[in-house]
Amino acid sequence: MSIGMSVEHIGADPHGDRGGPAQPLLTVRKLVKHFDLKKSFVETMMGGGKVVRAVDGVDFNVLKGETLGVVGESGCGKSTTARLLMHLIEPSAGEIVFDGETVGSPALPLREYRRQVQMVFQDSYSSLNPRLTIQDSIAFGPQVHGVGKRESMTRARDLLARVGLEPSRFAERYPHELSGGQRQRVNIARALASEPRLVILDEAVSALDKSVEAQVLNLLMDLKDEFGLTYVFISHDLHVVRYISDRVMVMYLGKVAETGPAEALFEHPLHPYTRALLSSMPSMDPDRRTEEAPLAGDPPNPIDPPPGCRFHTRCPLAEAICAEQTPTLAATGTRETACLIHEPGSRHTQTGAAIYAS
Amino acid sequence: MNTTMSLPAKAPDLPLQPRSAGFWTGVLRKLMRDPVAIGAGIVLLILVLMAIFAPLLTPHDPYQASMLKRLKPIGFEGYVLGTDELGRDMLSRLMVGARLSLFMGITPVLIAFVIGSGIGILAGYAGGLVNTLIMRTIDVLYAFPSVLLAIALSGALGAGIGNALLSLTIVFIPPIARVAESVTTQVRGRDYVEAARASGAGAVTIVRVHVLGNVLGPIFVYATSLIAVSMILASGLSFLGLGVRPPEPEWGLMLNTLRTAIYTQPLVAALPGAMIFITSISFNLLSDSLRSAMDVKA
């Protein structure tokens, strides 16, 4: 029953596709977020004080209907990027363009943007109001956007059924009466309730048991087909990202290291960081056992990131030039890499060498 | 792939779960299983009923003095709890005194609960500069010891019940506002508030739907614990002649006027104090039980 209804909802959506299928759904340009460290009085007077460069100039596109996986170590700026995309925190600089319209411009005010973009958080418990029944939680979003109470409740129940929770049993329960997997289904239903076009999944399955995780992943893929959604899927779990993503973006210390189609990127990583990251992935196949040493230690402090290429302090292929010249994110075909080795004309000795042609 | 889709179809045989009870129903059920809460509740109920029906219950006129029957001991014929320094029946005066004492204990806290919660939630939700401005102003009041502030305000405003109520209200606003602010700041950082913001809701809607329900409970528990303090402070003001005036019976005032009899009739002189003690400890125990009953995870 929910399927028919949902399709109708989408058909009646006055805020549908604008720029056509070739227009990226989301274009992020030079997105920067610096957090001020707590300053002492003197530093404030001197105008100094340091900043944490959580996201430091990130460019990427999210194409219509795709799933963009975002991977990286803890502290690389994945979650900050998600919160910036939702405008939960104000970017320090940069621009977010949604289907051809700049977010916050008169053509696309923030409130309208927020109806079309929704987020699922990692902590399924703290992302549901403990004092509201789950159908009230789900119906909240539509009500904010002027949908009547009765219709929002009907929609909430339809969505509950759609995410695999029998409405007659679950609609009037409270979050603490559900399991983690059930709660995360509720969160997904909640995100879908305002009929978004883009859903940001910030570690949405990371806190779940493996078996439940698989169920929720499959549910997400089904919902994507059914509602014509686009996902930004943030995770530290490389297997999951490979499974669900069409394209993958690798982040390191607030910058994009590499983007590319999932299979190509996992089979032939271009950036040394991606290689190192993938080598930390245990393989099931004894013939393809991990040979490259995984990275040791933590990434450098984002308060004082290393000059030049941010990865040069841990990169096995680093040369002196890497500490001086900052690589640009350059496109080669469908791939983009920020590494001097792949930058024609850089003074890295291995530039142009087909080192990864394995 | 199909496991998720067929989940609801797989489990139709399960008995229909009873409609889950609301939050407050659950709190009430937990309170009913807590012997301390029941005991304190019964004591308070008796006190309140006693205060309400005092005119019907008093064995003697609480204002009727008698020079012949001054300072009679507990159990004196016809006077179950003895008489005070003017020969008035202690039992009757304690019963009628409950009206003013409870009123002086509850009213300032109730008003301060409304105002303090408003200020604290505003400061906590707004954050940043607004928070700093509001909370530092509140801190100025908070810096005074509450007894001193109450006495100073009452003294400045003049004696009388109205002024005593006003000064007690002002005394209780800062602590309630501080609790409200800290709870609100916590709730504001939760993901469900972020999610509500992400769905485009305005601040007023978010506070109404998502903040109030999660914040008022803890503030209320804290406020109930202040009722005891308020009663003691009100008694103190009356004791100093800044609150209720004689011959009106009020426990604090009675304690004051009977202090001269502490050597001749110590038990009778201590009775108003005992009433204050019983009432305030009952409120404290009840608010403790309320706190643990409202803990969802327990």
The pLDDT of residue A16: 66
Whether A123 is covered by a domain: the verdict is: yes
Query: Does A264 fall in a domain?
Result: no
The DSSP bridge pattern shows strands A67-71 and A117-120 to be unpaired
CA distances to A275, A338, A339 from A350, rounded to whole Å, are: 16, 15, 11
Residues A296 and A334 in one domain: yes
If asked whether residues A161 and A96 sit together in one domain, one would say yes
Whether the CB of B16 is below 8 Å from some CB of chain A: the reply is yes
Q: What is the CATH number of the domain that holds B51?
A: 1.10.3720.10
Closest CA to A341 of A270, A291, A263, A277: A270
Residue B287 vs residues A309, A318, B214, B218, B283: alpha-carbon distances, Å: 59, 64, 17, 10, 6
Confidence band, pLDDT 50/70/90 cuts, at residue A42 = low
Q: Does residue B129 belong to the interface with chain A, where contact is any CB pair within 8 Å?
A: no
CA dist A331 and A59 (Å) reads: 12
> Is the per-residue pLDDT at B166 higher than 70?
yes
With respect to residue A76, please indicate whether it lies within any of the assigned structural domains.
Answer: yes
Q: How far is CA A323 from CA A52, A53, A191, A347, in A?
A: 20, 18, 43, 12
Nearest CA to B126 out of B176, B173, B180 is that of: B180
Helix axes A210-227, A2-11, angle to 10 degrees: 50
Q: Which domain holds residue B154?
A: 41-55+69-293
**Which residues of chain A lie closer than 8 angstroms to B191, CB-CB?**
121, 123, 126-127
Instruction: Tell me what the pLDDT averaged over chain B comes to.
Output: 83
Contacting B residues, span 190-209, partner chain A, CB-CB under 8 Å: 190-192, 194-202, 205, 209
CA A15 from chain centre, in angstroms, equals 23
In a domain, B28, yes or no: no
Q: Do B200 and A110 touch (CB under 8 A)?
A: yes
- Asked if A167 and A157 touch (Cβ cutoff 8 Å), the reply is yes
**What band does A157 get if pLDDT is binned at 50, 70 and 90?**
very high
Q: A72: exposed, middle or buried (C-beta count within 10 Å: 0-12, 13-18, 19+)?
A: buried
Show residues of chain A in contact with B200, CB under 8 Å.
Answer: 110-112, 114-115, 141, 144-145, 194
pLDDT at A309: 87
**Residue A94: domain span:** 2-36+53-248
Among A2, A7, A72, CA closest to A302? A72
Cis peptide before B145 (omega within 30 of 0): no
Mean pLDDT over B130-135 rounds to 92
3-state secondary structure B38-93: HHHHHHHHHHHHHHHCHHHHCCCCCCCCCCCCCCCCCCECCECCCECCCCCEHHHH
Interface test with B, best of A144, A157, A160, A185 (most B CBs within 10 A): A144
Backbone angles phi and psi of A341, in degrees to 5:
-60, -30
Same domain, A82 and A180: yes
A26-36 and A330-332 strand pairing: unpaired
Domain's final residue, options A248, A283, A302: A248
- Are residue A201 and residue A325 in the same domain, yes or no? no
> What mean pLDDT comes out for the span B3-27?
51
> A222: number of CA atoms within 13 Å, CB side?
19
Residues of B in contact with A126 (CB under 8 A): 190-192
A97, part of any domain = yes
Which 3 state secondary structure label does DSSP give B42?
Answer: helix
Percent of chain A with pLDDT over 90: 27
Please provide the size of chain B in residues.
Answer: 298
Residue B1: closest CA among chain A residues belongs to which residue?
A218
Q: Provide the domain count of chain A.
A: 2
Partners of residue A215 in chain B, C-beta under 8 Å: 3-4, 7
- Give a yes or no: residue B130 inside a domain: yes
Domain membership flag for residue B93? yes
Mean pLDDT confidence for A43-55:
72
Cβ of A129 within 8 Å of Cβ of B16? The answer is no
Position A294 confidence tier, pLDDT thresholds 50, 70, 90: low
Contact residues on chain A for B210, CB-CB shorter than 8 A: 129, 132
**Dist CA B191 CA B285 (whole Å):** 33
Report the gap between the CA of B190 and the closest CA in chain A (Å).
6
The highest-confidence range among A189-203, A303-317, B25-39, B61-75, by mean pLDDT, is: A189-203
In a domain, residue B4? The reply is no
Looking at CA atoms only, how far is residue B208 from chain A in angstroms?
12
Q: Is residue A258 part of a domain?
A: no
Specify the DSSP element, H or E, that contains A137: helix A134-144
Query: Touching check for A184 and chain B: CB below 8 Å?
Result: no
Q: Does any CB of chain B come closer than 8 Å to the CB of residue A80? A: no
- Considering the domain boundaries, does residue B16 fall inside one? no
Q: How many domains does chain B have?
A: 1
Q: Looking at the complex, does the CB of residue A36 fall below 8 Å from at least one CB of chain B?
A: no
Using CB atoms, which residue from B5, B19, B191 is nearest to A127?
Answer: B191
Percent of residues, chain B, with pLDDT higher than 70: 91
Asked whether residue A130 falls in the same domain as residue A184, the answer is yes
Q: What pLDDT digit, counting tens, does each position of A273-290 carry? A: 888 888 877 777 777 666
Is residue A262 situated within a structural domain? no
Contact between A183 and A125 (Cβ < 8 Å): yes
B4 touches chain A (CB under 8 A): yes
Cross-chain residue pair A140–B20, CB shorter than 8 Å: no
- Domain-located, residue A265: no
Q: Domain for residue B13, yes or no? A: no
% of chain B at pLDDT higher than 90: 23
DSSP B268-284: HHHHHHHHHHHHHHHHH
Assess B128–A contact: CB distance below 8 Å, yes or no: no
Residue A132 banded pLDDT, cuts 50, 70, 90: confident
**What φ, ψ does residue B64 adopt, rounded to 5°?**
-75, 105
Q: Both A232 and A297 in a single domain?
A: no
Please report the pLDDT score of residue A12 as a whole number: 37
Q: What is the CATH number of the domain that holds A109?
A: 3.40.50.300
Altogether, the residues listed in chain A come to a count of: 358
pLDDT of the residue at B8: 43
Which pair of structure tokens corresponds to residue B49? 């009923």
C-alpha span between B26 and B42 (Å, rounded): 20
Of chain A, the percentage scoring pLDDT greater than 70 comes to 88
Q: Same structural domain for residues A351 and A232?
A: no
pLDDT value for A201: 93
Same-domain pairing of A133 and A277: no
**Structure token digits, residue B13:** 């045989």
Q: Inter-chain contact A165–B192, Cβ cutoff 8 Å?
A: no
Within-domain flag for B187:
yes
Order of strands, edge to edge, in the sheet holding A93-98?
A51-62, A26-36, A93-98, A101-102
Check B5 against A222: CB less than 8 A apart: yes
Return phi, psi of residue A311, to 5°: -90, -5
Give the pLDDT band of residue A14 (cuts 50, 70, 90).
very low
| Residue indicated by tokens 């109030």 | B212
CB B282 within 8 A of CB B43: yes
User: What is d(CA B272, CA B256) in angstroms, rounded to the nearest whole number?
Assistant: 9
Same domain, A284 and A229: no
Phi, psi (degrees; rounded to nearest 5) at A250: -105, 125
- For chains A and B, CB pairs below 8 A equal 103
Ramachandran sector of residue B60 (left: φ over 0; alpha: ψ -120 to 50; beta: rest): beta
In this structure, what token pair is assigned to residue A245? 């993503």
Calculate the CA B154 to chain-centre distance.
Answer: 20
Residue B60, domain member (yes or no)? no
Which of chain A's residues have a Cβ under 8 Å away from the Cβ of B196?
A: 140, 144
Tell whether A132 is within 8 A of chain B (Cβ).
yes
Q: Is residue A328 part of a domain?
A: yes
CB contact under 8 A, A166 and B19: no
Instruction: Kindly state the tokens that stand for A320.
Output: 């002196």
Contacts of A169 in chain B (CB under 8 A): 14, 16-17
pLDDT at position B55, please?
A: 82
Of B8, B20, B209, the CB nearest to A164: B8
Q: Token pair of B228, please?
A: 């005891």
A177, A304: one domain: no
What is the distance in angstroms between the Cα of A301 and the nearest Cα belonging to chain B?
A: 25
Task: Note the pTM of the prediction, 2 decimals.
Answer: 0.78
Structure tokens of A23?
């227009």
A63 part of contact set with chain B, CB < 8 Å: no
pLDDT of residue B178: 94
Task: Count the alpha carbons within 13 Å of A237 in the hemisphere toward its beta carbon.
Answer: 18
Give the per-residue pLDDT at B2: 43
Q: List the one residue out of A8, A64, A61 whose CA is nearest residue A334.
A: A61
Chain B touched by A224 (CB under 8 Å): no
CA–CA gap between residue A135 and residue A167 (Å, rounded): 9
Question: Searching chain A, which residue's CA lies closest to the CA of residue B212?
Answer: A131
Cβ of B53: how many Cβ atoms within 10 Å? Answer: 11
Looking at the fold, whether A172 and A70 belong to one and the same domain comes out as yes
**Is residue A323 over pLDDT 50?**
yes
